């Protein structure tokens, strides 16, 4: 097992049902224990409660759970204990929580969108700084939403843009970036490095 003094950051991207959460969990199982699993989902209805239960059942019982909808780095800092690996699932719901915490539809969407992008990027920077500063293995799951249709509502477009910017911010800082396609992980940073060097 490896111990990275500066911390190691991995971003796992994918669409819905691409296998990204399962792959991220496999990475965490091979990383340094103990593992802290950070869940950003909210049990807003019965269907979501059922989804959360399925995810919980799939995780090793030795993993500790931290549930937080926003300010993830601060929550981890306050509750990290002896954890060496932090798995955040997922950045998409974190950004969604930021969007839904503000009245985007009723206000100036351009101003609100800029503020939300800044807030999402601040969340990412705080997580990166925490991982680097404490030497954690940080694994973050997120959705790649830029390949779908343009959302029909201002709220949907604001979410897509804020998450896209947050993904870029995290990918730039990450040591590894994987894109899951039909359950198959593609090492995006490795491919990019080969293209530059080749």
pLDDT value at position 174?
A: 98
pLDDT value at position 108?
A: 54
Structure tokens at 178: 């994987």
- Using DSSP, state whether 73 is helix, strand or coil: helix
d(Cα 41, Cα 101) in Å, to the nearest integer? 14
Catalytic site positions: 55
Contacts of 61 (CB under 8 A, 6+ apart): none
At residue 176, φ and ψ (nearest 5 deg) are -140, 140
In the CATH scheme, what is the code of domain 8-197?
3.40.50.300
Instruction: Tell me if 162 sits within 8 A of 113, measured CB to CB.
Output: yes
3-state DSSP helix/strand/coil % of the chain, to nearest 5 = 50, 20, 30
Q: pLDDT band for position 5 (50/70/90)? A: low
Helices 46-58, 20-30: crossing angle, 10 deg rounding:
30
d(Cα 127, Cα 189) in Å, to the nearest integer? 20
pLDDT value at position 111?
A: 64
Helices 154-173, 91-100: crossing angle, 10 deg rounding:
140
pLDDT value at position 43?
A: 75
pLDDT value at position 83?
A: 96
pLDDT value at position 3?
A: 45
Between 105 and 61, the higher pLDDT residue: 61
pLDDT in tens, 115-157: 899 999 999 999 999 999 999 999 999 999 888 778 888 888 8
1 pLDDT above the threshold of 50: no
pTM over 0.85: yes
Between 106 and 84, the higher pLDDT residue: 84
Tally of helices (H runs) and strands (E runs) in the chain: 7, 7
């Amino acid at each position: 097992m490896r111990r990275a003094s500066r911390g190691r950051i991995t971003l796992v991207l994918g669409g819905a049902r691409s296998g990204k959460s399962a792959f991220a969990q496999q990475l965490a199982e091979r990383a340094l224990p103990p593992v802290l699993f950070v869940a950003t989902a909210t049990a807003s209805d019965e269907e979501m409660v059922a989804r959360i239960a399925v995810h919980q059942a799939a995780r090793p019982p030795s993993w500790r759970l931290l549930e937080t909808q926003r300010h993830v780095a601060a929550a981890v800092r306050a509750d990290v204990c002896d954890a060496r690996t932090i798995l955040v699932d997922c950045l998409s719901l974190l950004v969604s929580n930021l969007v839904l915490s503000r009245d985007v539809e009723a206000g100036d969407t351009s101003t609100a969108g800029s503020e939300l992008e800044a807030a999402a990027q601040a969340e990412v920077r705080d997580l990166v700084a925490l991982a680097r500063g404490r030497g954690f293995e940080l694994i973050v799951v997120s959705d790649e939403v830029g390949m779908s249709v343009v959302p029909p509502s201002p709220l949907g477009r604001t979410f897509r843009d804020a998450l896209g910017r947050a993904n870029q911010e995290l990918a730039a800082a990450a040591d590894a970036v994987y894109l899951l396609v039909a359950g198959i992980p593609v090492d995006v940073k490795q491919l990019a490095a080969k293209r530059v060097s080749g």
